[in-house]
Structure 1
Amino acid sequence: MADARKRQSRPHADGGYDRDTTPAIRQLAEEDDATAFENCFAHSMWTPASSASIFTGTYLSDHGVGKEGTGMRKLPPDLTTLPALLADEGYRTACLSPNGYLSSANGLDRGFEDFYWLSKNLGDGGVADLLKYGLNLGSHEGRPLNEKTRALAKYALNVRSHGPGFTLDRNRHNLSYVTTEMAKQWTSKAANGDDPFFLYAHVGNPHHPYCPPRRARDRFRDSLPVPMDEAIALSLDLYGSADRIQRLNAHGSQLTPEQWETIETLYDTEISYADDCVREIVNHVRALNGDTIVVVTADHGECFGEYGLVGHNLALHDALTHVPLVVAGADLDCDGDELVQHVDVTRTIASILGCDHDQFRGYDLRTETRDYCLSQRGRADFDEFFAVNPEFNTELLHEQPFSAIRTREFKYLESEGKSQLFELPDEETDVSDEQPEAVEELSAVADDWVDWTAAETDEAEFTDEMKEQLADLGYL
């Protein structure tokens, strides 16, 4: 699963995209038993809420992870997860996560027999630790090498190609190579047993700040208006902390055309490296067991100026919620142009594997279709942005928790005391007065699907290392 958005800008004459960013995923989508869904919409615009929806088959207003806007709440104890149900059916289950918002801290490890939270931080024996103190390939701090340490050691040995070269700057490193190597190790071990297995691998590239590994940097270098070192320095300057991202957004993200081209090219380069990782994992797993269902998707996208924003915060614009989805090995018999969401994938996979559950709110893609998609965002703190810029523009934004009900034609946004209707692809002109019937219809859907009054869950318990990692990712 990659942190990539389905890009809508830079259209090609044939209706596609003029940079070949995902050849491996495209090849997977073209297989006879695969379906590429062109209209998949994530349930939120960031990792904790979207991941909780994927695992539980429920919406943000059901599971509450991210409702308060900070991701600092746990998954409710009464919700089960797809990996838990599969474990009950005899599956070995594992998750690889390079993001503290997808961890034991908020309960998203529920149901995984093996859960690996990966870190670049010194306190966790991560990448910087290995680079600073050197490698002992026989042991690590006196312990035998496990999958994590072996993968970290291999990354350190290959840091000049799969990383930024030798540097202790954590923001320049990525954990996608480590995730890939661990996925290969874990599936090899699982395949040696008699039990079926379920692996959830979260490939963190691309995620701001954008610093693509060296082996990928030449792919779109000709499109960069500045040298690569200057481009990466700009990315680190713009996205290096939550305060910097907040300041940029508070002022409407007023970048020059050259700066926009620079960061979008870096982003595309990161996507192409994530595609490499997908190829490695899928090919390895299929060599072990050809009878495997493969799902490739993303938990959210990125803004590059939509609503004057960068990153993934505040809004539910299609730039953030329209994501890729390919399902291979399941023979869904779908056209691929259906409206679809992650809860549908959860429901369908559970049904195929014999562990469907009443909790799941999705549709079985083999037999059902949906007319509406639901994406949600928790509370926002506008005061933080007004403190930076008293003229911060909130006309198209919602401070209270809000829902986006999307059809093929319209997107309806609703929060307490505020609503808007957009006629797609325009997401800036409110047409509520011109389309009262659409407002009535979609408001009724929101009333039927959404209940924000769910009880608050326990506070998440993040370690200092997790908080450092979230700060590196621009969250704290």
Structure 2
Amino acid sequence: MSRPNVLLVVMDTTRHANTLADGTFESLPALARLASEGTVFDGAVTTAPWTLPAHAAMFSGQYTTDHGTHGGTQYFDPDRAPLARRVRDAGYRTAAVSNNTWVTPEFGFADGFDDFYTRSEPFPSGDDPAAAREAVRTDPLGALRDAVADGTAASTAGNLLYDRFLRDRGDDGARLSNWRIGRWLDAHDGDEPFFLFANYIEPHLPYTPPAEFLPPGFDSGVAERVAQDPWAFLMGETDIGERGFETLEALYEAELRYLDARLGDLFDRLRADGTFDETAIVVVGDHGENVGDHGLMDHQFSLHDTLLRVPLVVKPPAGTGPTVGSVSAPVETRDVFPTLLELAGADAPTHPTVSDRSLLESVCGRADAHREHAVSEYLHPRPSPETLRERFPDSDVDVDRYDRSLRCIRTPRWKYVQATDGREQLYDVAADPDETANLADDRPRVRDRLRRTLRAERGRFDRPAEPADDGTDRHEPPAGTERRLDALGYI
């Protein structure tokens, strides 16, 4: 395990139920092959249910309340000496390829990377094509004026031309990401091991998979008509219905199959040039997705297992000896941080808020690195109730019920969820995996025990204060970034 290459792959918005429900990647052959050479962590739980705080946890080893990056403070502070900087200081060449706008230099994630490639279009400075088309549709003159003022007119036009004539239909950037990774690897001289981080956004809304990955007999006409606006659904502006959600589920699973194929291309590329065996690979979902589950779409406003349980695979470099095939006990995605640092031989922080539970303990059978429980937090609702009311002024839906912070503790049997508005939930997830029956009043001893454990481990639970106005705008993304986030459903 001396200085292997290290590859971290994040499958954005990928939930356990559609990947590892039976304990294997039955419908995802590339991941199944990778898992056969490493360890599957079937009990993996993300520390946060959406992209920004979930990635900050993997880059810092901390919970959201500790790294402080969430919907209210939208910036990952590089002063935390994040993952890439530590790995680079250990003698690695580092690169990142990210298709999620949240995981970019604009939000603090570039620190420690020698090269950082963003976006699913060739011109990162330009607008996302979907956002550009929507801007032109609603206000063509204003869109042109803004593009000229921002200096993005030419790059946006280039992205639109690429999207219209060159981009593979249904591809959200995976193919372009693989091309960028291939070029970067070709330019890598091999004198230094590499650390490569790649975020693939395919399973994220909107679901638009290539036709060849849809199930046989799939009605594409229904797919074109079904609404994919999660906030219009939440506010009662669209009625998707049972058939509509069945369609969305089929589209979501097709996105996963397409992403698996592109990951297979990436792994085959490493095999072809002889670097696969000497590369440690970690593949993880940053969070899951609600596809009509619990009356919700997207991945906000709840801490249900549809958002928290994610796939996690660790494939060590060849020569490390036999590996444990599967671990069912709880682990947290923030444990990815010490795992990668150990693989790279990098210095690890000793701060008590940082995870020191390397998953390699379990992978290599040295010790049992699992946890008795996992903790997740959701500190700031996004979009805010005010934003939803502004976007849907005629809706009579009470969105103030989402104006709260959440945290939970999950054991193999029980899940306790606490909200800052005083509401509590308790689920027997072993007997009720869909979390349909709230037992908070029926099992008070279990509820109180888990509440005490959560309090002892994480302290008081209060709504985080609004960020102070310090005269800077580093937490406010520029207009072009806001438009790209809006195209992904982040309003």
1:65 partnered with 2:69: yes
Q: For the Cα contact (< 8 Å) 2:414–2:428, is it kept in 1?
A: yes
Tell me what 1:27 maps to: 33
SS at match of 2:268: helix
Gaps of 5+ in 2: 1-9, 134-154, 362-366
Within-5 A mapping of 1:214-253: 217-224=211-218, 226=219, 228=220, 230-234=221-225, 238-239=227-228, 244-251=229-236
Classify 1:253/1:300 alpha carbon distance in 2 versus 1 (closer, same or farther; 3 Å): farther
Bigger mean CA deviation after superposition, 258-267 or 244-253 = 244-253
The CA deviation at 1:280 is: 1.5
CA distance in 2, matches of 1:10, 1:73: 30
Tell me what 2:249 maps to: 264
The CA deviation at 1:300 is: 1.3
| Equivalent residue for 1:469, pick from 464, 481, 484 | 484
Tell me what 2:443 maps to: 435
| Equivalent residue for 2:183, pick from 182, 185, 198 | 185
Tell me what 2:97 maps to: 96
Tell me what 2:426 maps to: 421
Classify 1:277/1:127 alpha carbon distance in 2 versus 1 (closer, same or farther; 3 Å): farther
Q: Normalising by the residue count of structure 1, what TM-score does the alignment of the two structures yield?
A: 0.80
Tell me what 1:402 maps to: 406
1:348 partnered with 2:339: yes
CA distance in 1, matches of 2:33, 2:190: 30
Q: For the Cα contact (< 8 Å) 2:213–2:255, is it kept in 1?
A: no
CA distance in 1, matches of 2:435, 2:311: 20
CA distance in 2, matches of 1:113, 1:122: 19
Gaps of 5+ in 1: 133-148, 165-171
Alpha-carbon displacement from aligned partner over 1:59-80 (angstroms, at most 9, x marks no partner): 1111121152xxx521235412
Within-5 A mapping of 1:275-294: 275-286=260-271, 287-289=273-275, 290-294=277-281
The CA deviation at 1:231 is: 4.2
Q: For the Cα contact (< 8 Å) 2:39–2:327, is it kept in 1?
A: yes
CA distance in 2, matches of 1:234, 1:336: 41
AA at the equivalent of 1:293: A
AA at the equivalent of 1:95: A
Classify 1:427/1:382 alpha carbon distance in 2 versus 1 (closer, same or farther; 3 Å): farther
Within-5 A mapping of 1:74-473: 74-120=75-121, 124=125, 156=162, 163-164=168-169, 174-190=172-188, 192-213=189-210, 217-224=211-218, 226=219, 228=220, 230-234=221-225, 238-239=227-228, 244-251=229-236, 254-286=239-271, 287-289=273-275, 290-329=277-316, 333=324, 335-355=326-346, 356-359=348-351, 360-365=354-359, 366=361, 367=367, 368-380=369-381, 381-384=384-387, 389-392=395-398, 398-416=402-420, 417-424=422-429, 425-450=433-458, 456=467, 459-473=474-488
SS at match of 1:163: coil
The CA deviation at 1:291 is: 0.8
CA distance in 1, matches of 2:411, 2:19: 24
Bigger mean CA deviation after superposition, 294-303 or 445-454 = 445-454
Bigger mean CA deviation after superposition, 344-353 or 252-261 = 252-261
Query: Sequence identity of aligned pairs in percent?
Result: 25
The CA deviation at 1:173 is: 5.5
AA at the equivalent of 1:436: P
AA at the equivalent of 1:222: P
The CA deviation at 1:45 is: 1.5
The CA deviation at 1:293 is: 0.3
The CA deviation at 1:384 is: 5.0
Bigger mean CA deviation after superposition, 431-440 or 262-271 = 431-440
AA at the equivalent of 2:43: N
The CA deviation at 1:288 is: 4.0
What is the number of equivalent residue pairs in this alignment? 424
The CA deviation at 1:94 is: 0.9
The CA deviation at 1:325 is: 0.9
CA distance in 2, matches of 1:448, 1:379: 22
Alpha-carbon displacement from aligned partner over 1:389-432 (angstroms, at most 9, x marks no partner): 434488xx653221121111111111222322111124232212
CA distance in 2, matches of 1:189, 1:123: 21
Classify 1:10/1:376 alpha carbon distance in 2 versus 1 (closer, same or farther; 3 Å): closer
Alpha-carbon displacement from aligned partner over 1:111-136 (angstroms, at most 9, x marks no partner): 2111112254977358869xx9xxxx
Classify 1:84/1:269 alpha carbon distance in 2 versus 1 (closer, same or farther; 3 Å): same
SS at match of 1:370: coil
Q: Normalising by the residue count of structure 2, what TM-score does the alignment of the two structures yield?
A: 0.77
Classify 1:84/1:21 alpha carbon distance in 2 versus 1 (closer, same or farther; 3 Å): same
CA distance in 1, matches of 2:203, 2:70: 21
CA distance in 2, matches of 1:88, 1:270: 36
Classify 1:58/1:10 alpha carbon distance in 2 versus 1 (closer, same or farther; 3 Å): closer
1:53 partnered with 2:57: yes
The CA deviation at 1:208 is: 0.8
Q: For the Cα contact (< 8 Å) 2:97–2:118, is it kept in 1?
A: yes
Classify 1:253/1:447 alpha carbon distance in 2 versus 1 (closer, same or farther; 3 Å): farther
SS at match of 1:337: strand
The CA deviation at 1:47 is: 0.9
Q: For the Cα contact (< 8 Å) 1:99–1:469, is it kept in 2?
A: no
Tell me what 1:8 maps to: 17
CA distance in 2, matches of 1:64, 1:299: 17
Bigger mean CA deviation after superposition, 413-422 or 402-411 = 413-422
SS at match of 1:222: coil
Q: For the Cα contact (< 8 Å) 2:127–2:484, is it kept in 1?
A: no
Q: For the Cα contact (< 8 Å) 2:279–2:316, is it kept in 1?
A: yes
Classify 1:179/1:88 alpha carbon distance in 2 versus 1 (closer, same or farther; 3 Å): same
CA distance in 2, matches of 1:23, 1:352: 26
The CA deviation at 1:461 is: 4.4
AA at the equivalent of 2:119: L
SS at match of 2:311: strand
